[in-house]
Amino acid sequence: MRKILFIVEKEFKQIFRNVVLLRMMMIAPVMQLVLLSLAANFEVKNLKIAVVDQDHSTFSRRLVSKFQYIDNFKLTGFSPSYKLAEEQLLLDKIDIVLVIPAHFERDLYRDNRSGVQLMVNAIDGSKAGIASGYASTIIQDFNGDIRIENVPVRKGEVQQVDIVNQYWYNPRLEYRTFMVPGILFELLLLVGGLIAALNIVREKEMGTMEQLNVTPIQKYEFILGKLIPFVVIGLVQFTLGLIVAKFIFRVPMEGSLLLLYVFALLFLILCVGLGLLISTISDTMQQAMFVAFFMLVLFILLSGLFSPTENMPQWAQWLDTINPLKYIIEVARNTMLKGSTFADVRSHFFALLAIALAINGLAIWRYRKTV
């Protein structure tokens, strides 16, 4: 135990002596949390829409006016021809073209049906899907209005189903409320895994690792001595992140704070263990950085931070069973927003525990005391 404390003391002195590293570990994650949470937003606004009105009727003007008063759309004007509108779409000057055909109003009166065309710029598939959904809803609303006006019905004959939506756990549908818990743990993975790996490989390059190797320190003592300081610093970062989430982004804390810290501690042990494992297979800082970058990007993209894991291909879902970031993001969202208890997330705890034991076991096995 005494040897471990000496290594911990040496690590803290080394970290506090490196001012740049200390700033990176304490200030950079908080800044990244604020900036990423503000920037990561899938809400679609100010969609530029142009109209090709080939009917010039009352109904066509009413349909166009519905788009003018919705914040999500910005009417850029009327295009005189279909071809010109297509060129504007090609040049990315507009996002959507609404084509109202000739005899639109006449067909609605005479045949009780007509059609309009939507051309949507679908380079960004997600944005195109959301934009198309918004536009379709507006057109359906217009269709409902004119049906009520033109179909003669007596009072009380129109039967409607009123839909009342209740949004649980995020009643205002705040995107930041959903994203901040995930980004918080993503940054812990980046800092805990990457900086721990670089710190040890740097010692290899400087030769101080060889001095440690000639001492009678056991493998587990060395790993624990390296692991403890980064876990402690990671918990401080986590606390700062929680303060930012609570007081700047107003993210609710419905569940147990103690439960969240237990999971944060386990996740940090896993992250620092991953950094130690990377350091054992890397001889230079460049190698460590590339290996860490490869693994961290995979973890982040498959974690469900930006898109639901259920929508991923089956092979990706199988790969996700060993992705610690996936489990901790689910725990953070469920605990902070839903108030989940340990019983609700115990399967995540055991999965993270198994991954942490496997990674740290590999790190101890891979560490060799060579001079």
Provide the edge-to-edge strand list for the sheet that holds 96-100.
73-78, 47-53, 96-100, 117-120
* pLDDT tens-digit map of 21-62: 777 777 777 887 888 777 766 667 788 889 999 888 888 888
Angle between helices 196-206 and 285-301 (to 10 degrees): 170
Angle between helices 28-39 and 175-189 (to 10 degrees): 150
Distance CA 369, CA 371 (A): 7
Mean per-residue pLDDT over the chain, rounded: 82
Tens digit of each residue's pLDDT (9 = 90 or more) over 328-357 = 999 999 999 888 889 999 999 999 999 999
| Residue 101 and residue 117 in contact, taking contact as beta carbons nearer than 8 Å | yes
Q: Which of 38-42, 97-101, 204-208, 312-316 has the highest mean pLDDT?
A: 97-101
Q: Is 319 a residue whose pLDDT tops 60?
A: yes
- Taking 3-state DSSP, the helix, strand and coil percentages for the chain, each rounded to the nearest 5, stand at 65, 5, 25
Q: Which of 208, 153, 274 shows the shortest CA–CA distance to 10?
A: 208
Is the pLDDT at 223 greater than 50? The verdict is: yes
Question: Looking at residue 267, what is its pLDDT?
Answer: 93
Across 291-298, average pLDDT: 86
Question: How much is the average pLDDT of 311-325?
Answer: 87
pLDDT digits (tens, 9 = 90+) for 148-162: 776 665 555 555 566
pTM over 0.85: no
Render pLDDT for 123-173 as a digit per residue (tens, 0 to 9): 877 778 888 888 888 888 888 887 777 666 555 555 556 666 677 887 777
Tens digit of each residue's pLDDT (9 = 90 or more) over 227-263: 888 888 888 888 988 998 888 888 888 889 999 999 9
Q: Work out the angle at residue 45's Cα, subtended by the Cα atoms of residues 39 and 48, and round it to the nearest 5 degrees.
A: 125
Q: Are 227 and 269 in contact (CB under 8 A)?
A: yes
pLDDT of residue 371: 45
